[in-house]
Structure 1
Amino acid sequence: MLNRSFPALAISGSVLFALVLVGCSERPEADKESKSPTGLQVCGQFLGAENVRRAVDAVDGGDANATARNSPGQLAAALTLEAEKWSVDDLLYHPYSACRLDIPAEGGGTHVIQAQVKWSALTFDSMSEPKYAKSWRQVNDQVFVEPQAGQPIMRLLVACEVPGVASEQEAELPLQMTIMDPGLAVEQRQALLSTFARTLVDELACTGDPVVPAQLIR
């Protein structure tokens, strides 16, 4: 009797031990997922968490659905790789969406706030040409801004030489950031844009330490 029950007990004990091991092996993955930043948190890393909160509140809609597929470090790595492959004959550059906020509007529809970045086909020398000088304003020696008056969009150019790339890159290939929104106050738009620019300048470790001020429009 005792001999017959022992194998059953041993099997039951083995099953229980296996279940405990499965539970232990699954727990780290669950913990890892719970610690992964949400899209809204990544948007905050790019644009400033308080800036994002104020922008969403200003739209006065529902809860924001945030899409941010790459962290600032990952996006900087992609931009660095593109700069390393750059040549003076290149004219088209891949735009990257850093953050997109979709906010339900009352009565239907969606308010969208989006931050994009790419290497620009524009150069600092082209800013003196009449067609660009009308809309682009010089902030300092390293930064130009295009407010596009009356439009819910603002763009910024910053001289950013990536360490280890062609020496012409800083002058011929500035970094271009864009903020598009459903009609935020100019102060909120420039707060998002200037923070976005400073985040990427830091992540890219631009030589010369370009200064992007908080106040882009005077």
Structure 2
Amino acid sequence: MMKRSFPAFATPGVLMCALVLIGCSGDSEADKKVHTPASFQVCGQFLGTENVRRAVDAVDGGDANATARNSPGRLAAALTLEAEKWSVDDVLYHPYSACRLDIPAEGGGGYVIDAQAKWSALTVDSMRKPKYAKSWRQVNDKVFVELETGQPIVRLLVACGVPGAAPEQAEELPLQMMIRDPGLAVEQRQALLSTFARTLVDELACTGDPVVPARLLR
């Protein structure tokens, strides 16, 4: 398996704003891992820096490129605005990309690790109905996890109340997070998802104190 480090410079055009480099000196592997572009820093804020490093190193490919257009605070602000405007008649919600890692494959093509969040059209009550109970597992009273059979995608729902939103928003409009990857080990996928969820729960200051445990997948 080829070991990779994060690139010292990002590909132009992948960021909404200019990339800011941490001061870089030396060409060692350690230096390359420490001195990373802004997008990798943001991915680390969402998913955990070490989790990102391990996930990228687990994929047999070339150097990864990161795209992260929203900081945790900016993403939380956009989600908060949607929740404050929400009504029970709403059925479609905008997905937001938190972090995307593109890893080229030897011989062409590539691998993608992608983290997204949005408000869900599903409700907490629907999770307990037979239709969804077959594919969604209840982790605790506010957290539910779904693993797409045959697909390297895992989704998580959290009952997250936003201050200023309608009283029923937490139950009727749960927060949904998704991790897509090229087939990571369960432990790695779990680490990315649980860290991502806790990051957003903290940024949103969810009412009701939802607890996202480190262990989500079996």
Q: TM-score, normalised by structure 1?
A: 0.83
Task: Give the corresponding residue for 2:39.
Answer: 39
1:217 CA displacement: 2.1
Give deviations 1:79-114, integer Å, cap 9, x for gaps: 000101100000000000000000011111010000
Task: Give the corresponding residue for 1:193.
Answer: 193
Task: Give the corresponding residue for 1:147.
Answer: 147
Task: Give the corresponding residue for 1:77.
Answer: 77
Gaps of 5+ in 2: 1-18, 23-35
SS in structure 1 of the partner of residue 139 of structure 2: strand
SS in structure 2 of the partner of residue 140 of structure 1: coil
Task: Give the corresponding residue for 2:135.
Answer: 135
SS in structure 1 of the partner of residue 69 of structure 2: coil
SS in structure 2 of the partner of residue 193 of structure 1: helix
Give deviations 1:7-32, integer Å, cap 9, x for gaps: xxxxxxxxxxxxxxxxxxxxxxxxx9
Cα pair 2:21 2:38 within 8 Å, conserved: no
* Aligned mates of 2:52, 2:162 — CA distance in 1: 28
1:33 CA displacement: 4.3
Task: Give the corresponding residue for 1:55.
Answer: 55
1:149 CA displacement: 3.1
SS in structure 1 of the partner of residue 194 of structure 2: helix
Task: Give the corresponding residue for 2:28.
Answer: none
Task: Give the corresponding residue for 2:101.
Answer: 101
Give deviations 1:140-183, integer Å, cap 9, x for gaps: 00100001233200000001001121101011000000000111
Equivalent position amino acid for 1:91 in 2? V
SS in structure 2 of the partner of residue 122 of structure 1: coil
* Aligned mates of 1:161, 1:127 — CA distance in 2: 17
Task: Give the corresponding residue for 1:158.
Answer: 158
1:203 CA displacement: 0.2
Query: Structure 1 residue 177 and structure 2 residue 177: aligned?
Result: yes
Equivalent position amino acid for 1:158 in 2? V
Structure number with bigger Rg: 1
Q: Which moved more, 1:125-134 or 1:206-215?
A: 125-134
**Poorly superposed stretches of 4+, deviation over 4 Å:** 32-37
Cα pair 2:47 2:195 within 8 Å, conserved: yes
Higher helix fraction: Structure 1 or Structure 2?
1
Equivalent position amino acid for 2:151 in 1? Q
* Count of residue pairs the alignment pairs up: 187
* Aligned mates of 1:34, 1:42 — CA distance in 2: 12
Task: Give the corresponding residue for 1:203.
Answer: 203
* Aligned mates of 2:145, 2:53 — CA distance in 1: 24
1:208 CA displacement: 1.7
State the identity %. 83
Q: TM-score, normalised by structure 2?
A: 0.83
Gaps of 5+ in 1: 1-31
Equivalent position amino acid for 2:202 in 1? D
Task: Give the corresponding residue for 2:167.
Answer: 167
RMSD over aligned Cα, in angstroms? 1.5
Cα pair 2:20 2:38 within 8 Å, conserved: no
